Amino acid sequence: MRKLYVVGIGPGSKDYLSPAAKKAVESSDVVVGSRRAIDLFEDVEAEKIELGSKNVEVKIELAISKVEEDRSVSVLSTGDPGFSGILKPVLKKVGDRDDIHVEVVPGISSIQLCAARLQIPWDGADLITLHGKGISKKVLKVIDNGKPTIILPNFKIDEVANFLIENGANPDRKVAICERLSYDDEKIVITALKGVLEEEFSYMCIMVVY
């Protein structure tokens, strides 16, 4: 049966790339993913299709068309494909077709690595993803329930901090910002919520509100 792998490639560093992910990609004829995901497999001999944030659906359709040509395809997802990853749009496109077998290879998400770095048992934390959605005042109730809140933003982290402050969160509330996790220039900053507005961070950040 035609196979479409949905492969979690971890937070970004090869150190967190699983053997199962490598095996799936190495067995594929076509690899589809973002530039930083594809770069992890520079030695793999396969057709490589770069996927941008503005052409996700088009590239998924292209990946499916490659499977229809009896070629095995790996669609790469940073982190874990099932948490703010590419699994949902892939399953939506495949639908109820029974001629394409989807196999999901999980990966280590930046949420998991963030929890590990900060030594937070994340089964006792609240997880919020803002990917594909805006932030709402519902977040305010979550951050005040006594548990650490791990937030995966979809925009600049200072915009999240500013929203929380403008909507009543204590500016002196303790937060941690985990930036570029697993990369050589990884940075973890422990500060007050208002302190986030005084520094510059890349888009690759996780915020923890204590």
pLDDT digits (tens, 9 = 90+) for 155-164: 789 999 999 9
Predicted pLDDT of residue 198: 94
For residue 87, the surrounding DSSP H or E stretch is helix 87-94
Q: Both ends of the chain: CA-CA distance in Å?
A: 48
Assigned superfamily of 110-209: Tetrapyrrole methylase, C-terminal domain (3.30.950.10)
Which pair of tokens denotes residue 41?
Answer: 């497999």
pLDDT digits (tens, 9 = 90+) for 25-82: 999 999 999 999 999 999 999 999 998 877 888 999 999 999 999 999 999 999 999 9
* Domain range list for the chain: 2-105, 110-209
CA distances from 104 to 50, 93, 154, 176 (A): 20, 15, 24, 31
CA distances from 43 to 15, 59, 68, 105, 182 (A): 16, 22, 25, 20, 21
Domain 2-105 indexed as CATH 3.40.1010.10? yes
Burial 132-143 (b: 16+ CB within 10 A, else e): eeebeeebeeeb
